[in-house]
Structures are given as structure tokens and as C-alpha cells.
Chain A
């Protein structure tokens, strides 16, 4: 068996809710464990025991558990210096490093040596046994030693986790997923702050084909590596888009489309018992994302409208998309419905009054009802 430690950060700060947060985190970790593995909470970290053969895979899966700041493969040793030194020498030999340092941390203050004393004693023992050089400034290997009353953990490099809060700790949200680059990143970031998310996708068949729908399903599958199985609402939206184009002034088409999308998403959020909507809006990126446009669109939603990527540059969004594995799916070149009906000269700085006036000819309630009644809910397994 191998031991993997999952560290969490902020949960520790959350006072009375801490117990609930920890339970959610533990549940998320357990869902990712293979046969024969076990997870428990000990001393403010998640401790996983897993068969050697599936250790790497499990550690990798744990790096996608919201709430975990880092994931570390650890070697346990008995809390006495000879045992610790033996384990440290084995690790140093196996690492292939030329230089090292010891970074001891004494969680259990009852241990007879202080942290600096442990560093000195272990450093000498490892250097003598292996011939490796001690280098406290730029070591190839930093051997962390964590001293507890019942066990001592030694470990090398930590894998970064996503951080944030455990899934569901902040409640539920509905995210508008388009197939582009931004909305999957927004969904991910919402999940990172503890929101469990159901996605909604607006399908404008025959203007968008089944390839685009498949793309959104694949995005949910990729996000599912963080979220687990995801619910995806597919909303038939052709009628809405055609009505907006035929009945309303062209420069407002995108804004009115987005208002209808928010209305649909808000209705669906009732069915999902969700308390927020999540969009991939990034301030000033396109015409419908100026402050005025965001205001004119956002006013139709009663729920809080979360825009996790609002302040990110495209480069920053792309970097996250690459890291979480949605980028390559997002750049597949199938039309999404926004691009087909986009007006040639969109209004960039509309007032709310202008938008309401532009929308007046639209039978919004009927369109909303039709879109909802045609919606289907898919379950996407990661």
C-alpha cells in the first residue's frame, strides 16, 4: 500500500462549517478511489491508502478534487530517528537527484528533536549513506519530513491541486455552456469555489449541427473529471433566434438572444434548485460584453449572475482551458449558434430602455415556454 496525502487550505478557516466541508471533500476523494483503497481525515489532511499499482493514477485523480491544494505521495515511517533516516535514504537513492535538503516540520511537539535538529541529523545521515551533496539553496530534491505522534511522513514533490472549496459546499448553479473557450473555464471556476453545476446548452438546429452538440457533451465529459457526472440541458433555440431576427432590430439581436438564454437558464435553475447562474462573459471581449451590454442583458435574471472570467484576459482564459483539458475541444471548428445570427453591426453601448424597446415585439413568454418544453436533460459520465 502507498500513502497519498491531500492538503486543503481554506477549509480550515471555515469555523462552524468545517465539519461539513471536510465530509464533502472526503466524499469527492472517495469517488475517485480504485478498488482496495481507503480515505480518511487525519490531522487536517486527507490520508489515502491505495494499492501500489494504482497509486500514480489515484494521485493524479486527486489533483482534480476541488478543495485540495496539493497532493503528495508519502512514505510512512515510525516516529523514531533510525526509522526516519532509513526511509529518507531510500527516497534519496530512488530520486536520482545529485543534491538535496531536508525540510522537517514537527507537528507533534513531543518529538525529542526540534525541526532544525532533525534537519541536521537527517541531512548528515543521508549524505553519509548516499554520497549526495547537501544544498540548502537549490537542491534537486527537497525531502519533506512531517513528524506526527503516531507516524512520520516523508515526501518529495507535491502535485498542485485546484484549491478552492469542495464541490457543493457553496450550493448549486446553472452554467451556460456554448462550446467556446470561455464558458467551460467559467464553469470550472464556479466549481472551484464549491458550486455544483448543471450545464445548459442552446441548440439551434439546423443552424448548428449535431457535431456542435457532441462538442458540448465532450466539454461536459472533460469537466466531469473535476465535477463527476454532469447534467446537461439541451434547449431547442432555433425558434427564439428566428423570431428575434424577424421581429426585432438587427443591432440588438445578440443582446436579445442572450436575454432569452438567461430567462431559459433561470427557469431551468428552478428545476435544478440552483441559486446562481454562471456565464463565460469577459468584460469588453466582444460587443455583447461591454458594461452597458452586460447590464442590459443581466437585468432579466433574478438570481445572482456569476461571471468568473469577467476580469481575465483571453490568454489567461486559454491557459486555464489548456490546463483543465477543455481547450482542444473548444477549438473544434463547428459553428455555435451565436456566430450564425450575429448582426453585422451590433449595438455596443445600449441603454436598458433601448433594449426593452427592441424586445417589445417579441412574444418572450411563449418562446420561453416552447424552449422549456422542448428541453432535454442528458447525463454525461466523465
Chain B
């Protein structure tokens, strides 16, 4: 049995999503900016998707704009907020365990970067964020709500509240890519200003994402073109992708118990392998429900990945975006793990479609692979 446990890298689309994409490609193909009925039809499709996403976040539809994905959303938010505040300063506060699209965007936009340390569970202290953000010249705070490698959930609401008490409050960007559909996400109520989302992590198509921007935020576009999406993100909208994103978000909204189901299965998987592995990052009570990061001491992660793949199980070492590079995960190192443990750690990630039978098969494959490799690899 093939078991796909790399859902934090990407998820399979579901038939409803494929149908929505196909419908938009074949029948609602107009340009949303066109004045005729074909254009109006296409702009309705995008508007409906926008409203569904806004509903998921508890924000207003016109505050959501569509992008090409999580990376663009993070870049647009961080770059756009920083550019609009250049006179106030060029200092950005983030954490040591962010996704590369946040870290690289921050590095590109700031003269001074503060990467706050995290504890062994991956959590950043809200007071530490506020303290770092209080330094004059700080214009943006950028933090991921759910970490993509270990599943840590940051105290975003507390950070938002702590920032609100500052006399000079910087803009607050949250990377919500791994949070959507997994943990409650209420940026509008939490004192957040912008929030990045991605469709393909929730069974939508690749190449489409969204950015929520609080109404009235001062922000500059990264690209220059037409006046689509308020001029912040010019270019004809990717209507088929947006339609697919909307369909995926609708299914998310219709599955309020999905997170609890994933958490239960994740713990079942962990119990089945806990004799031969150690767990990295947060414990089951505080972690996002879909990520399990484990270390199998003495086995190189790539070798374990290959052995699992041979047994039909897909997962990853670090994050998929990093696996072509031999450097050990910056996230696990920041959690304080020794490098040897980091090089022996893999991530298993579930989606709401993961079944109990798949988890049983994966646990069996994991035990079998580790036993087989123990014979091959030096202790």
C-alpha cells in the first residue's frame, strides 16, 4: 500500500478542486477585468473564492488578494510593508525557524535582521518579540503561525497583543501557510496585519496563494502593472487556480473535525514507532495536528527516506524545499538538537484525507525499514 505522508510539502488535489479548476478553464475563461459578461462571470468566480477564504479567516472578502503561492505572499507582505516604512527604519524582527521564503525575504528587505531564538519546542516568547520590536527603526515583525518542519504553533494572539502595547507598533506579518485548515487562524482578531496562505497545502492547486491585508495598511506592490487587486498585485488573476483554491477552502470549512482526526492518527503513528525513534519539537498537546518530526538515532535521514520509499511511504527530511541541499535543517538546529540528531531526523505529515489503514501501514513500513537498516548501518 502506498502511503503519502509528505502533506506538509504538498497535498493531492481532490475531485471537487479539479472540477472547479476545469470549469474555470473551460467555461469561465473570461478576464475578470473585462466589462462584458464573460469577464463578469470570471470575476464572480474569483470573488466567490475570496469570500470563502475570508470566511475561513473571519475577515472581509475585499481584504484578501490572490498571489502565485506562499512564497510570493510572504515576499509581497514583508517587502511591501517594509518598502512603505522605509523612512521609519530598515529593521525587521523574525524567528530562527521560519520558512526560507520568510527568512530570505527579510534578509533582502532589511538592513538589520533580528532572528529570535526559540525553545526546544520551537516556541518564541511573546515578550521577547515585543522587546525586540520596541527597538526604534523596527518596521516589520514576521512570524510563521505553524512551523513547517516540526509543527510548532506560535502564540500569535499573544504576540499581537504585546505588539499593540508598544508606543511605535511595527507591522505584523504572519505566515499562515501551514496553519490553514489545521489550527484556528483569526488574524483579524489577533492584531495581525497581513497573513500568507497557500492553496496546495489544503488539497488545492499549486501556483496559487493568497495574502490577507488588513484594510488601510500602508503597503507597496512588488510588481508594477495594471490596477488589478487594488494595484497591490497587478496582473490578470489566475482564475482557474483561484477557483480551485476556493473549492479547497470550502471543503476545509466543511470539515471542522479534520484537525482532531489528524491529531489522533498522528499520535497513533507516534505510539507505533516511539520505541525506535525520538520526537522532535512540540508535544502532542501544543503541536499542529498534521506534523510529526522524529529522529532515528544512527540512521542517516536520506537512507531512511529511501528505505521508506521502497516500502511505499513518502515523507521528507527537513522540508521538501531543502532536501536537495545537504545542509542540516536550520529549524532543528535552532531547537537545540545536536547536528548528528538533525541528520537522522525525518518529517511525516498527514492531511485530512489520511486514513487509519494508511497510518497502520506506514507504522509497519517504518518499523520494517528501521529493522532492515539496522543490519546495514553501523551502530
Contacts and interface: CB of A to CB of B under 8 A. Distances in A.
A335 B300 CA distance: 12
Interface in B298-348: 300, 302-307, 309-310, 324-326
Contact of B310 (A206, A208, A242, A340): A206
Contacts of B304: 206
Contacts of B305: 206, 209
A160 B39 CA distance: 56
A340 B309 CA distance: 19
A238 interface: yes
Interface in A206-256: 206-210, 238, 242, 245
Interface residues of B, number: 15
Given A206-B307, A209-B309, A333-B324, A242 B302 contact: no
A238 B376 contact: yes
A205 B306 contact: yes
A188 B303 CA distance: 31
Interface in B355-379: 373, 376, 378
A205 B310 contact: yes
B215 to A, nearest CB: 45
A238 B372 CA distance: 12
Output the residue of A209, A210, A242, A245 with the most chain B CB within 10 A: A209
B378 A206 contact: no
B302 A335 contact: yes
Nearest to B299: A206
A207 B324 contact: no
Interface in A45-89: none
Contacts of A335: 302
B303 A207 contact: yes
B378 A245 contact: yes
Contacts of B376: 207, 238, 242
Nearest to A334: B324
A345 to B, nearest CB: 15
Contacts of A205: 306, 310
Contacts of A206: 303-307, 309-310, 373
Given A333-B325, A333-B326, A207 B378 contact: no
Contacts of A207: 303, 306, 376
A231 to B, nearest CB: 25
A151 to B, nearest CB: 55
A296 to B, nearest CB: 24
Contacts of A340: 300, 303
A207 B306 CA distance: 7
A306 to B, nearest CB: 32
Contacts of A208: 306
B185 to A, nearest CB: 35
A208 B302 CA distance: 8
Nearest to A332: B324
A238 B377 CA distance: 11
Output the residue of A207, A238, A335 with the most chain B CB within 10 A: A207
B305 to A, nearest CB: 7
Contacts of A210: 306, 309
Interface string B278-308: 0000000000000000000000101111110
Contacts of B326: 333
A204 to B, nearest CB: 10
Contacts of B324: 332-333
A135 B357 CA distance: 82
Contacts of A332: 324
Nearest to B310: A206
Contacts of A245: 378
A209 B306 contact: yes
Output the residue of B303, B304, B309, B324 with the most chain A CB within 10 A: B303
A245 B324 CA distance: 27
Interface in B113-143: none
A210 B324 CA distance: 13
Nearest to A239: B376
A340 B376 CA distance: 12
B343 to A, nearest CB: 12
B96 to A, nearest CB: 24
A245 B379 CA distance: 12
A205 B310 CA distance: 9
Interface string B239-250: 000000000000
A335 B326 CA distance: 9
B323 to A, nearest CB: 9
Given A238-B376, A242-B376, A245-B378, A209 B325 contact: no
Contacts of A333: 324-326
A210 B373 CA distance: 17
A333 B322 CA distance: 12
Contacts of B300: 340
A209 B378 contact: no
Interface in A339-357: 340
A170 to B, nearest CB: 39
Contacts of B325: 333
Contacts of B378: 245
Output the residue of B305, B310, B373, B376 with the most chain A CB within 10 A: B376
Nearest to A207: B303
A205 B304 CA distance: 10
Going nearest first, the 9 A-B pairs with the smallest beta carbon separation are A206-B306, A206-B307, A209-B306, A206-B303, A242-B376, A333-B326, A207-B303, A205-B306, A206-B310
Interface of A: 205-210, 238, 242, 245, 332-333, 335, 340
28 contacts: A205-B306, A205-B310, A206-B303, A206-B304, A206-B305, A206-B306, A206-B309, A206-B310, A206-B373, A207-B303, A207-B306, A207-B376, A208-B306, A209-B302, A209-B305, A209-B306, A209-B309, A210-B306, A210-B309, A238-B376, A242-B376, A245-B378, A333-B324, A333-B325, A333-B326, A335-B302, A340-B300, A340-B303
Given A209-B306, A333-B325, 4 more contacts: A205-B306, A209-B309, A210-B309, A242-B376
